[in-house]
Structure 1
Amino acid sequence: MKELFSIGPFHIYFFGVAVAAGIAAGTIFAINEAKKRDISSETITDLILITIISGVLGARLFYILFYNPSIYFNNPVEIFKIYEGGLSIHGGIFTAIATGYIYTVKKKQSFLKLADIIVTALPLAQGIGRVGCDVFGKTMNNIMPWGINYGGQILHPAQVYEFILDYILFIFLWRRSYHKKFDGELFAIYLISYPIIRGIVEFFRINPIIWGPFSISHLLSLILVIIGIVVYKILSKNRSKYNNDLVNKEIKLNASILYLIVLIAVSVFVFYYVQG
């Protein structure tokens, strides 16, 4: 991991700072969106905290089971070295959904309404977090200007591809939130869209291959896409008359495009400044 600086025995890494910034930005955005819907900030922050913890645990579990099971089963102590990396975003999504659902049921809150808020903020947090990731992609066969020199090789900056697509999804979901037709629509769209993003980026990454050019990550992404499509169809068929009271508060198209450009420009600059 890229170390930014150290204070005595404490080392501050770029990835950790980026993840923390992503969580902070996503949380602030989610709280603001919740207030517009008369949902308390405490409810949202508690839900975010619970899903983050469960998401990290689930991401670690899936990585162990699907990516390098033999290494961890033969060396169990390695399971706990999460600081060395080894997380599966798919596992994080699965477990975050499960614990989020349990939390909302116990608190007698609408899971779908809260999920729509969380998944709108999630691509923003994921995108910012990816800026600090130093797991680069495959070697570029045809050298492009945006390739990054790592260990003497020009590699695909897979992180850049992903955070750009994440930001686009964030803006799309944010705008869609003012026109959604039923609670859970954004949740279902995220389950379909993010795995597609992950699948696209996966072609530029190095992960265990299961068939042809497709990796285990592609398989997990396909499962999420199928689940998302099923959820969307079920919710859209069972919806009753829906009143979106935010329709008159839509963010302007020009403003949303500006936000997207700024997000991408700042992230690209920070990424290449630190990682390059």
Structure 2
Amino acid sequence: MHGVFPQIDPVIFQIGPLAVRWYGLMYLLGFVGAYFVIRHLAHRRELELSSDQLSDLLFYGVIGVILGGRLGYTLFYNFAYYIRHPLEIFAVWEGGMSFHGGLLGVVVAALIFCRRRRLPALLVGDILVTAAPVGLGLGRVGNFINGELWGRVTDHPWGMVFPGAGPDARHPSQLYEAVGEGPLLFLLLYVLHRLKVPQGAIFFSFFLGYGAIRFVLEFFRQPDAHLGFLWGGATMGQLLCLPMMLVGAVGLVVVLQKKGRQ
């Protein structure tokens, strides 16, 4: 006996042409939650960040997520389509965002912000990546409500039959990712803040930790239909996580070795 997808209406309410959707609400709650996490950690790590600077930093982050996420999806997941329909790159309301692209966008935006405000980039990075799991976890809940990015076929009793995914029960992989990329990753990074590790260690731990969690959970997620399985049976998400984990591991070693020589 398998579960059935709960068929939650993706639209919370609609006034005329204006529709408020659960997925958009998850994004909004993610940014609000990130604001409070950043404010708390800035105080804890003794980073002098005024209310205006905090708002500006969050604004830079939002722009980085949107531009990087969209461009990342265009390049990594559907380049052949968008090269034929370039104007549709700007149709973000139709969906299609890449986490890895969004991450690169935020890193670039944060570096620009830190340079303009003369703030320590690694410390700001430590704080930003700890706030990221709030939005990541909520975003996966939004994916589940939308009934998208479902998992692979399973015979486990908690499998669900998703609309548009055929008659077979599938892993609710969006919920697996919501837990792994959300509270689990947040807890790991927050503990490192309490341990007072050197600046940059948390930033690179995020790369390593997220990459490892996402790589494992991709085994339960159905790959994009237009991409399928790639080299060695890996998904695009797994292939993008490999360099991410490498950067995290190398960066973490460099930061810790530098601290050890001081």
Q: Which range, TM-score by smaller chain? A: 0.7 to 0.9
Q: CA RMSD in A?
A: 2.0
Separation in 2, partners of 1:84, 1:144: 33
C-alpha displacement of 1:224: 0.7
Match of 2:244?
Answer: 224
**For the Cα contact (< 8 Å) 1:184–1:235, is it kept in 2?**
yes
Matched, 1:236 2:256: yes
C-alpha displacement of 1:156: 2.0
Specify the SS of the correspondent of 1:145. coil
**For the Cα contact (< 8 Å) 2:158–2:171, is it kept in 1?**
no
Q: How does 1:7-26 map to 2 (within 5 A)?
A: 7-26=15-34
Unaligned runs of 5+ in 1: 243-276
Q: How does 1:62-101 map to 2 (within 5 A)?
A: 62-101=72-111
The equivalent position to 1:188 in structure 2, one of 193, 201, 204, is 204
Separation in 1, partners of 2:135, 2:89: 26
Identity of aligned residues (%): 29
Counterpart of 1:76, as a letter, is: P
Separation in 2, partners of 1:194, 1:76: 31
Counterpart of 2:43, as a letter, is: K
Aligned residue pairs: how many?
Answer: 242
Separation in 1, partners of 2:65, 2:215: 20
Specify the SS of the correspondent of 2:162. strand
Question: TM-score, normalising length from structure 1?
Answer: 0.81
Separation in 2, partners of 1:230, 1:240: 15
Question: TM-score, normalising length from structure 2?
Answer: 0.85
C-alpha displacement of 1:86: 0.9
| Cα deviation digits, residues 27-57 of structure 1 (max 9, x gap) | 1111122123242243333222102212211
Separation in 1, partners of 2:127, 2:200: 9
**For the Cα contact (< 8 Å) 1:2–1:13, is it kept in 2?**
yes
Match of 2:234?
Answer: 214
| Cα deviation digits, residues 212-235 of structure 1 (max 9, x gap) | 320222111101111111111111
C-alpha displacement of 1:118: 1.0
Matched, 1:202 2:218: yes
Unaligned runs of 5+ in 2: 1-8
Matched, 1:156 2:171: yes
Separation in 2, partners of 1:185, 1:123: 17
Counterpart of 2:196, as a letter, is: K
**For the Cα contact (< 8 Å) 1:136–1:155, is it kept in 2?**
no
**For the Cα contact (< 8 Å) 2:159–2:172, is it kept in 1?**
yes
